[in-house]
Amino acid sequence: MTTPPRARLVLADGRVFEGEGHGADVRATGEVVFNTSMTGYQEALTDPSYGGQILTMTYPIQGNYGVNDTDDESARLQVRGFVVRELTDLPSRWRSTQTLGQYLEAAGVPCIAGIDTRALTRHLRSHGVVMGTITRDESASEALARLRSEPAYGTEDYVAEVSTDSIYTFNHEAAVVVPENAPHIVVLDLGVKRNIMRHLRRRGCRVTAVPHDTGAEDILSLGPDGVLLSPGPGDPMLLDHVVQSARGLAGRTPLMGICLGHQVLGRLFGAETFKLKFGHRGANHPVRDEVTGRVYITSQNHGYAVDPDGLDSAVEVAQVHLNDGTVEGMQHRELPLFTIQYHSEASPGPHDTEFLFDRFLDSVRNKDASS
Amino acid sequence: MPASGDDSRGERPRKVLIIGSGPIVIGQAAEFDYAGTQACKAMREEGIYSILVNSNPATIMTDEDIADVVYIEPLTVDVLERIIAAERPDSLLPTLGGQTGLNLAVELVEAGILERYNVRLLGTPIESIRLAEDRAEFRALLDEIGEPSPQSEIVEDWEQAVAARDRIGLPLVIRPAYTLGGTGGGIAFTEEEYERIVRGGLAASPITQVLVERCLLGWKELEYEVMRDGADTCVTICNMENLDPMGVHTGDSIVVAPSQTLSDRDYQMLRTSALKIIRALGIEGGCNVQFALAPRPDITAWPGEESAEALEYHVIEVNPRVSRSSALASKATGYPIARVAAKIAAGKRLDEITNSVTGRTTAAFEPALDYCVVKIPRWPFDKFAFGDRTLGTQMKATGEVMAIDRTFEAALGKAVRSLEMGGRSILWEDPEWADDFPEELPATDERLWGLLAALRRDIDPIDLAQRTGIDPWFLERLGRIVALERRLLSEDLTPDLLREAKRAGFGDAIIGTLADRLPDQVRALREEWDLRPVYKMVDTCAAEFEAVTPYFYSTYEVENDAVPEPGRDRMLVVGSGPIRIGQGIEFDYCSVQAARALQAAGVQSILANSNPETVSTDFDTSDRLYFEPLDEEAVRDLLDNEAGGAEAPPSIVQFGGQTAVNLAGGLQRAALPIAGSSAESIDLAEDRGRFEQLISALGVPQPPGSAVRTLDEALPTAEAIGYPVLVRPSYVLGGRAMEVVQDANELVRFFGAALAERSGPVLIDKYLEGLEIEVDAVCDGESVLIPGIMEHIERAGVHSGDSMAVYPPQSLTPEQREAIVDYTTRMALALDVRGLMNVQYVIAPDADPAGPGVFVIEVNPRSSRTVPFISKVTGIPLVPLAVHVMLGESIIEQGYEGGLYPDRNLVAVKAPVFSMSKLIGVDTFLGPEMKSTGEVMGVDETFDAAIRKAAIASSVAVERETPFLLSLANRTKAEALPLIHLLHEHGCKLYATEGTAALVEGLGLPVEFVTKRLSEGHPNVVDVINDGTVGAVINTLEGGRPSHMRDGFHIRRAATEMRIPCFTSLDTARAAIQPLTAPGSYNVRPLAAYRDGE
């Protein structure tokens, strides 16, 4: 039995966690955040919304079912680093093709295992998320000095990093046959997850993804029947150019905004966004629909939220988070436009709100009926 | 049909009737006391008046401060109707009393009683219950909503069963409708097995219906606990994965939470299915959905499509109520399912119910776990060596343990420690495996140990997985445990290795065994190297929010959540661990009462236990809860944590049965304080030699006897005492291995068996076959209060736990009463008892012609099985009294005085309840070894009414004209004569075996002869039982240990399987038959009305 190398996670506030090094033997720096979902590490690791972040999973045993060919949410691993209590090298699932450790190593992502992730979570819960670094070859003080010289999470635009460089047609799931005259949905890729596009395709849509900096006219020139503003990483206050595009789209085509897309649309309608102390990341977030009173369990992954104070009266807060009352969904009173802060595409997480894609497509079809 | 569901929503209930689950039986244990207690508390919080009925006195829910009115009465439609007529509740909560409560609610609806009294069902509508319980309708519903279920057919007679078999093909699963714990079901591989199980299942089902189903043996088995409120909000509380694949009842499976081998895709697929089902059923409250998921095809082959998107799965079963699994899920997550279900039933929505763990979030969320939970069932085969140990679809476990840690290995290791299986640590191996390791590893209670043993023999985990169907993930993990065992055996014990072993859940004792050290030396090393467990909180949210309920588990990590609160008055109550025969729910009752009494006295109560079913492990029973094994290591560790470097809080060890008492010595050696009777007092009572000296010095008589170590000593000792003698190993629980021995030959045989099992002395006592008496007492060092005397119906020789007991005593002379009080008082003072004590006496005037004829059989300086019963019928709060004594308040200061409390003007009978129909191959005769799993109480104004109710509640009631089969041993024939006459007078037709028939004929009474020789023609004894000719059996035994080979065994098993009363003691039979003389009425009243004459 070979003993894994020592590694440490050093936080910008000086707290140090000692553990074992796994995955790639590189240093990684990012904002340290925690996710409470008990399954779905492969989907989370490939979720572009984790761009610029070091992710810790609160469930202590990670890697149980290995890594398979179907569950990636983007073309690469998106996290900067991965922090776990235990990384299992003995997975069991019949479609598993490699261990989680091999997957991380091949992708160049470092992992630190064996640490008290509950202590880390409690620390982040009480002090707020913080920059941190995973290192094997530095002392804690060396790492801390280096960490302090690196840019803070909130100052970087990660969207440019994770978005597509060029326009492409999403054609996963070859078995799904999309007719020529199918509704055409353009996804403004701020860090889109594949499952959003799978949902649209499965519902019979042609799906085109465009880069984050595509202007409104360029999008409209593609002839969309609806536009979806995708989730993505980072501070929405840095995304003036996306707000600009959204302004050119609102009222001219049905819009749905998810997560970062929701925040961008919030800004479009006059709201500011603010940073949450430790964000919402997990598969158990209760959201109440203010109209029906029904509560949905949602999958969430965001560090910023829309402040409803500045919101245009044309937009209503349709859904709120049951735990902290933050805005979880907005509905325009006249335009075919709605947003959700959470991830109806799940993956990972509960499938309870998949029907929102139907709702979006209803507005797309109604537009056809009325035109 | 009464209004329910949508029509009545918003109309708040004001007065609700809650039905409990009755006696503890296999398949229905303490989890329903937990659920019912939570329900009553929830009603009180909602300002709703609650009426509770249960036949089981050993429950917290029947404490009079839990519900507004408490009835301890038999759970029958007749009784329920009378309660409804008297109390006029406006609603009934049917889903918290297990299958018993649910079935009764359905019967009440069907009898039109709810409608007549305008009582509506709360929560889940009756239609939903029927839909979920009726297999045909449920399958149709699944088809309708597109949820897959295994191919199956509903069968109501043998012909249909044959057709179903031919269509689906063997092997087949047989599941009877409306039975609990899978009673009467099984898996058939052969045609013979199929016929036997189908016929048994049809008999067991109250609607004569079984489901015959495609066998998914070897598929992964998963459970989801889901909830739904009236606004259609649905949440999943927990999913659980069975280590044992399909084929083993989930109650008999090792279970982990959350699932370990499911990807998010699999997890969400099943979650979505579960929510779809709870919506389609329209359940308002909790529900449990069981799934079979396709296994790895390289492990268990299965036919079907391999889709890249989704694995094949099938819905197996739904429980439209709270269940054993929901209790486990509640304890595993911290989410109080029963409480929330009760509030939903009262009209609340999930988002209107506070999450009492965080205090700020609501019940509308899904718990996130940041630990792994392992449950292991506790089986009774340590007591039933002849029982069939195979595990199948019929549950056999009496209880379970749960352990929590940050790795699977550690949780498993702690769970094994929690089982308290004596010598069976995680290292245990069957001696036979040494030479001949079995090729097959069938599902039995010993399989976990078999798997570890196989891995120690370098059998490949994948190979093992293929043999057992267990997912390789679990076997690889067991492999890590074995690998670490090897390192501990071969390497030097370094701080790193010790830390690794502790993080993998190795107890100090195991490490000591492997690394050749004493447990205390390992502990000393841990102290030297600063290796101490920290305690993490079960907070429902994986630390995302601050939590306010201190519910902890130990783990070897960095940060401690359980910061002690020294400076307060604090005490630890040590619980009683898993429910097993001999140590049941009564001890949990005492632990809960103790925690409450401490709180009421302003003392912080700390509780430690390992049993997820119980009220004691409810998060709001104590101020701090430690979910831990109850061994010396775990208890000392948590006390060290509580001490925080200063003084540890005192431990109360007298309420948690033998589990807790056994810790006294270790705690004392570690200089940890014990509240109440000292370790010295306990040792004095338990050490045979010391106790005898004390008793003789006091002049209290006990049957002559002594402790011996060898057969050479035993033979002359028994000769001197005179046969029959009672023999038993010292330090036994529940009379394990206790026997009445008639002669030297039997003594030789017993010794062989006893010596094989364990070393240590064997006790030999004169067997006095007299009236048995039991008392509980509380002592403060000066006064001794005896709340009441209990007289056993069966004479000495039947274990006290299996005897019917009556309060107040019916046949004692004043001198005998006086002697009992006098002896009890003197012994309590001499032992310096502080708190509770239980004494058993036998009345044998012939053996003591000069005196009152009262002999002490046993003294236990702790709470007993009868404490809840005697507390309830006398109204003397024994446990709180004892706790206050420990806090320094005398009995007199508490408003009571020493001596026997005056008899109440009522008669109460406690009757045992058995689970024998579930334990194939176990002989049911009553003897010195305890066999019952639960108890009921019948209380009324007269003895006849009380015993009649006890018989009804314990399912041994007979009626006038019930045909009886008699098969009597020679030694009991003379004594049986009056009883035979009585049966004849009651119009009971008599059937009898060879010798007994001759006896009845000799009395000049009509009798039908039936042969007991099964090979000699029909109808024989088994036939007349199986075809329903007879409705009850009296079968007495010759002395000695009955053999499996004898006819009597078949009579008793047949009666058990047909669920008809089978009396093996003439005393019990007499008690059941006597009341028929005046088969008048019995009362139905609140307990307090009988007791206080209200």
DSSP B747-769: HHHHHHHHHHH--S-EEEEE---
What is the mean pLDDT of the segment spanning B518-542?
A: 97
- Strand B624-627 versus strand B551-555 pairing type: parallel
- Are B159 and B292 in a shared domain? no
Residue B2: predicted pLDDT:
35
- Are A211 and A332 in a shared domain? yes
In the structure, what pLDDT confidence band is assigned to residue B929 with cuts at 50, 70 and 90? Answer: confident
Q: Which of B195-204, B658-667, B841-850 has the highest mean pLDDT?
A: B658-667
- Are B227 and B362 in a shared domain? yes
B365 → closest Cβ in A1, A70, A286? A286
Residue B686: predicted pLDDT:
86
- Are B250 and B345 in a shared domain? yes
Integer Cα distance of A101 and A89 in angstroms: 7
- Are A191 and A62 in a shared domain? no
Residue A47 pLDDT > 60: yes
Residue B735: predicted pLDDT:
47
Q: Which residues touch B926 (CB under 8 Å, ≥6 apart)?
A: B794, B798, B799, B802, B803, B1064, B1065, B1068
Mean pLDDT of chain A: 95
A282 → closest Cβ in B368, B483, B557? B368
Contact (CB, 8 A) for B901 and B825: no
Interchain proximity A297–B477, CB inside 8 Å: no
Residue B1063 pLDDT > 90: yes
Integer Cα distance of B630 and B635 in angstroms: 6
In the structure, what pLDDT confidence band is assigned to residue B753 with cuts at 50, 70 and 90? Answer: low
Residue B7 pLDDT > 50: no
Q: Which residues constitute the domain of residue A91?
A: 6-153
- Are B209 and B304 in a shared domain? no
> Sheet of B152-155: strands edge to edge?
B152-155, B210-214, B172-176, B186-188
Residue B180: predicted pLDDT:
62
| ipTM surpasses 0.95 | yes
Integer Cα distance of B628 and B414 in angstroms: 8
CA neighbours closer than 13 Å in the CB half-sphere of residue B553:
31
In order, the DSSP letters of B712-751 are HHHHHHHHHH-SSEEEEESS-STTTT-EEE-SHHHHHHHH
Integer Cα distance of B746 and B758 in angstroms: 19
Residue B566 pLDDT > 90: no
- Are A194 and A333 in a shared domain? yes
Interchain proximity B368–A286, CB inside 8 Å: no
- Are A14 and A100 in a shared domain? yes
Q: B1075 or B931: which carries more pLDDT confidence?
A: B931
Q: How many domains does chain B have?
A: 4
Q: What are phi and psi of B66, to 5 degrees?
A: -90, -50
Using an 8 Å CB-CB cutoff, list chain B residues near A116: 557-559
What CATH number corresponds to the domain at position B156? 3.30.1490.20
Last residue of a domain, one of A153, A177, A210: A153
Residue B3 pLDDT > 60: no
Is A1 part of any domain?
no
- Are A252 and A359 in a shared domain? yes
Q: Is A205 a catalytic residue?
A: no
Interchain proximity A39–B351, CB inside 8 Å: no
- Are B195 and B337 in a shared domain? no
Integer Cα distance of B571 and B672 in angstroms: 12
Residue B976: predicted pLDDT:
95
Percentage of the residues of chain A whose pLDDT score is greater than 90: 92
Q: Is A345 a catalytic residue?
A: yes
Q: Estimate the crossing angle of helix B77-87 against helix B98-110, to 10 degrees.
A: 70
In the structure, what pLDDT confidence band is assigned to residue B9 with cuts at 50, 70 and 90? Answer: very low
**pTM, to two decimals:** 0.95
Residue B133 pLDDT > 90: no
A322 → closest Cβ in B234, B260, B364? B364
What CATH number corresponds to the domain at position B57? 3.40.50.20
What is the mean pLDDT of the segment spanning B577-601?
A: 97
What is the mean pLDDT of the segment spanning B140-153?
A: 93
Residue B1080 pLDDT > 80: no
Using an 8 Å CB-CB cutoff, list chain A residues near B262: 39, 65
Integer Cα distance of A33 and A53 in angstroms: 7
Q: How many domains does chain A have?
A: 2
Tokens of B139: 């399958």
Contact (CB, 8 A) for B595 and B563: no
What CATH number corresponds to the domain at position A140? 3.50.30.20
Is B1040 part of any domain?
yes
Alpha carbon separation from B995 to B362, B926, B970, B998, B1021 (Å, rounded): 70, 22, 8, 5, 13
Instruction: Tell me if residue B378 falls in helix, strand or coil.
Output: strand
- How many Cβ atoms sit within 10 Å of the Cβ of residue A83? 28
What is the mean pLDDT of the segment spanning A124-130?
A: 97
Distance from CA of B280 to the nearest CA of A (A): 15
Integer Cα distance of B331 and B613 in angstroms: 8
Gyration radius (Cα) of chain B, Å? 28
What CATH number corresponds to the domain at position B360? 3.30.470.20
Residue A69 pLDDT > 80: yes
- Are A168 and A25 in a shared domain? no
Instruction: Tell me if residue B790 falls in helix, strand or coil.
Output: strand
- Are B291 and B159 in a shared domain? no
Residue A368: predicted pLDDT:
57
- Are A281 and A250 in a shared domain? yes
Integer Cα distance of B794 and B804 in angstroms: 7
- Are B296 and B359 in a shared domain? yes
Integer Cα distance of B339 and B345 in angstroms: 10
Residue B369: predicted pLDDT:
98
- Are A278 and A342 in a shared domain? yes
- Are B225 and B362 in a shared domain? yes
Residue A371: predicted pLDDT:
44
Q: What are phi and psi of B814, to 5 degrees?
A: -55, -35
DSSP state of A104: H
Which stretches of B1003-1048 are assigned E, i.e. beta strand? 1008-1009, 1032-1035
Residue B266: predicted pLDDT:
95
Q: Which residues touch B274 (CB under 8 Å, ≥6 apart)?
A: B224, B226, B236, B289, B291
- Are B255 and B321 in a shared domain? yes
Q: Which residues constitute the domain of residue B18?
A: 5-122
- Are B259 and B141 in a shared domain? yes
Integer Cα distance of B590 and B1035 in angstroms: 36
Which one, of B938, B875, B878, B934, lies nearest residue B908 by Cα? Answer: B938
In the structure, what pLDDT confidence band is assigned to residue B1041 with cuts at 50, 70 and 90? Answer: low
Is B1006 part of any domain?
yes
What is the mean pLDDT of the segment spanning A241-245?
A: 97
- Are A338 and A229 in a shared domain? yes
Residue B1037: predicted pLDDT:
85
Instruction: Tell me if residue B526 falls in helix, strand or coil.
Output: helix
In the structure, what pLDDT confidence band is assigned to residue B181 with cuts at 50, 70 and 90? Answer: low
Gyration radius (Cα) of chain A, Å? 20
- Strand A110-113 versus strand A81-83 pairing type: parallel
DSSP bridge pairs for B1033: B965, B1062
Residue B729: predicted pLDDT:
74
Residue B4: predicted pLDDT:
38
Integer Cα distance of A223 and A225 in angstroms: 7
Is B702 part of any domain?
no
Is A320 part of any domain?
yes
Instruction: Tell me if residue A130 falls in helix, strand or coil.
Output: strand
What is the mean pLDDT of the segment spanning B978-991?
A: 95
- Strand A28-35 versus strand A6-11 pairing type: unpaired
Last residue of a domain, one of A153, A180, A212: A153
Interchain proximity B473–A348, CB inside 8 Å: no
Interchain proximity B543–A349, CB inside 8 Å: no
Amino acid identity for residue B708 in this structure: V
- Strand B255-257 versus strand A28-35 pairing type: unpaired
Residue B162 pLDDT > 50: yes
Last residue of a domain, one of B215, B231, B247: B215
Residue B919: predicted pLDDT:
86
B394-425 per-position pLDDT tens digit: 899 999 999 999 999 999 999 999 999 877 89
Residue A94 pLDDT > 60: yes
Is A274 part of any domain?
yes
In the structure, what pLDDT confidence band is assigned to residue B1045 with cuts at 50, 70 and 90? Answer: low
Q: Is A127 a catalytic residue?
A: no
Active-site option among A259, A302, A321, A328: A259
Is B571 part of any domain?
no
Residue B727: predicted pLDDT:
85
Integer Cα distance of B577 and B112 in angstroms: 42
Residue B732 pLDDT > 60: no
DSSP bridge pairs for B85: none
- Are B257 and B344 in a shared domain? yes
Is A91 part of any domain?
yes
Is B776 part of any domain?
no
- Are A310 and A260 in a shared domain? yes
B668-726 per-position pLDDT tens digit: 999 999 999 999 999 999 887 899 899 999 999 988 888 888 888 889 999 999 888 98
* End-to-end CA gap in chain A: 69
Integer Cα distance of A170 and A210 in angstroms: 10
- Are A229 and A360 in a shared domain? yes
Tokens of A250: 């609102």
Is B221 part of any domain?
yes
Interchain proximity B473–A39, CB inside 8 Å: no
Is A341 part of any domain?
yes
What CATH number corresponds to the domain at position A258? 3.40.50.880
Largest CA distance in chain B: 87
Is A99 part of any domain?
yes
Last residue of a domain, one of A126, A153, A180: A153
CA neighbours closer than 13 Å in the CB half-sphere of residue B869:
34
Contact (CB, 8 A) for B86 and B71: no
A60 → closest Cβ in B365, B370, B483? B370
- Are B340 and B361 in a shared domain? yes
Per residue, the 3-state secondary structure of B196-224, as one string, reads: HHHHHHHHHCCCCCEEEEECCCCCEEEEE
Interchain proximity B362–A85, CB inside 8 Å: no
- Are A75 and A214 in a shared domain? no
In order, the DSSP letters of A73-123 are SSSS---SEEE-SEE-S----TT--B-HHHHHHHTT-EEEESS-HHHHHHH
Is B781 part of any domain?
no
Interchain proximity A37–B368, CB inside 8 Å: yes
Residue B593 pLDDT > 70: yes
Chain B interface test: which of A59, A295, A299 (most B C-beta within 10 Å): A295
Lowest model confidence (mean pLDDT) among A3-7, B117-121, B195-199, B1078-1082? B1078-1082
Amino acid identity for residue A38 in this structure: M
Q: What are phi and psi of B471, to 5 degrees?
A: -60, 135
Chain B interface test: which of A1, A8, A18, A36 (most B C-beta within 10 Å): A36
Contact (CB, 8 A) for B453 and B425: no
In the block, residue with structure tokens 């290292």: B427
DSSP bridge pairs for B1032: B964
A168-201 per-position pLDDT tens digit: 999 887 677 888 889 999 999 999 999 999 999 9
Alpha carbon separation from A235 to A213, A240, A310, A325, B416 (Å, rounded): 16, 11, 18, 20, 50
- Using CB atoms within 10 Å of the CB of residue B336, give its burial: 0 to 12 exposed, 13 to 18 middle, 19+ buried: buried
Minimal-distance CA residue of chain B relative to A64: B261
Which one, of B789, B804, B774, B823, lies nearest residue B902 by Cα? Answer: B789
Contact (CB, 8 A) for B240 and B197: no
